[in-house]
Amino acid sequence: MSDLRELLGIRQPILLGPFGGLSSIALTAAVSDAGGLGGYGLYGYGGERIRSTAAALRATTDQPFALNIWLPTGDEVEPGPQHTVFAQALEPFYEAVGVDVPARPEQYLPSLDDQLDAIWDAAPAVLSVVFGVPSSEVVEEAHRRGIHVVGTATTVEEAVALEAGGVDAIIASGSEAAGHRVSFLRSAEQSLVGTFALVPQVVDTVSVPVIAAGGIADRRGVAAAFALGASGVQVGTAFLATRQSAATDAHRTAIHETAADESVLTRAMSGRLARGARNRAVRAIEASGTIAPFPMQNWLTGKFRAAAGEQNLGELQSLWLGQAAPLARFDDAVEVFEELSAGLPDTLV
């Protein structure tokens, strides 16, 4: 079994899932300081924001951390005339939180080159990517700078593609996981493999370390992941429920109150398939039948979701959570980390 600790320079093979829009300096640093690898999601971050975020992380922890980006898939839409039509369809939600219908921006997302330039300056221990295989140029530049590259797979075929692309480790993300399904070879709907089935098949197929993700929230999930051949685990929802995360109180309540069979996969909030609570916003948008493509839908709903978060209105937020949400029992990140560590094999303790 590959030793992920030696590869990434960490004391325990436990990774914090990076949250797009919900990552926090405090949570990332807490996991890194505890001996794992704190992860920070950079979705939507431009270069300067990435640099300031990395600086804040370095000022808070002297331990390794990972920065995560979404790779372009090629089907992202640019701002155009259709923006107004889709924006007006969401007008009731803007009114509910007291914000104006947003005008069309120049762009929905920063460029990948802008993000990468800042990441090279930040020099994290790990660059993690979702929604694809990083180019050979990105992998080579990362390695030249001493940065390890970790990719994310939802199928065996994606894991094979990532290994061929030169990544140092692969996160095998089962369909139980919270947030976006990061499939890239087939549609997300055609790539819904559970963690228990996915991890051992990926382990049997690739030679790089495999990190299990999805449905892991306590020592039992960690023990199961290692029994399946994983070299580490990545945990999201259990950490998202802690006070160190950027989740709102309403979001934390949803994590504790949403049963395993009550979370849903929906495109309502972002235009891409993601797992979370089926609140009022999700129900209404799905019922309307009007969902803009990504990233337009994510940008448009983001304008009322941000205001809803400030007002702690859970029914109008993206309440991302996984099927193991009922197992999230602790409100402190260190307690979560200690619980997860208790499930590690004796040879790693």
In a domain, 297, yes or no: no
Q: Count other Cβ atoms within 10 Å, centred on residue 233.
A: 29
Do 15 and 39 touch, CB atoms closer than 8 A?
yes
Return the CATH number at 137.
3.20.20.70
Question: pLDDT by residue (tens digit) across 18-43?
Answer: 998 899 999 999 999 999 999 999 99
Segments of the chain with pLDDT less than 70: 1-2, 349
pLDDT of residue 309: 95
| Distance from the Cα of residue 348 to its chain's centroid | 26
pLDDT of residue 2: 62
In a domain, 186, yes or no: yes
pLDDT of residue 21: 87
Question: pLDDT by residue (tens digit) across 241-264?
Answer: 999 999 999 999 999 999 999 999
Q: Going by C-beta distance under 8 Å and a sequence separation of 6 or more, which residues neighbour residue 277?
A: 254, 258, 262, 263, 264, 314, 319, 321
- How many structural domains comprise the chain? 1
Helix intervals (H) in the chain: 4-8, 25-34, 47-60, 82-89, 91-97, 112-122, 136-144, 156-164, 195-205, 219-227, 237-240, 249-257, 280-288, 296-310, 333-341
Structure tokens at 319: 């309440």
SS3 209: coil
In a domain, 276, yes or no: no
In a domain, 45, yes or no: yes
Overall residue count recorded for the chain in this entry: 349
pLDDT of residue 1: 44
- Domain span at residue 39 reads 4-76+110-258+325-348
The closest of 204, 205, 267, 238 to 325, measured between CA atoms, is 238
Starting at the edge strand found earlier in the chain, the sheet holding 232-235 runs 14-16, 232-235, 210-213, 169-173, 148-153, 126-130, 65-70, 38-41
In a domain, 245, yes or no: yes
In a domain, 187, yes or no: yes
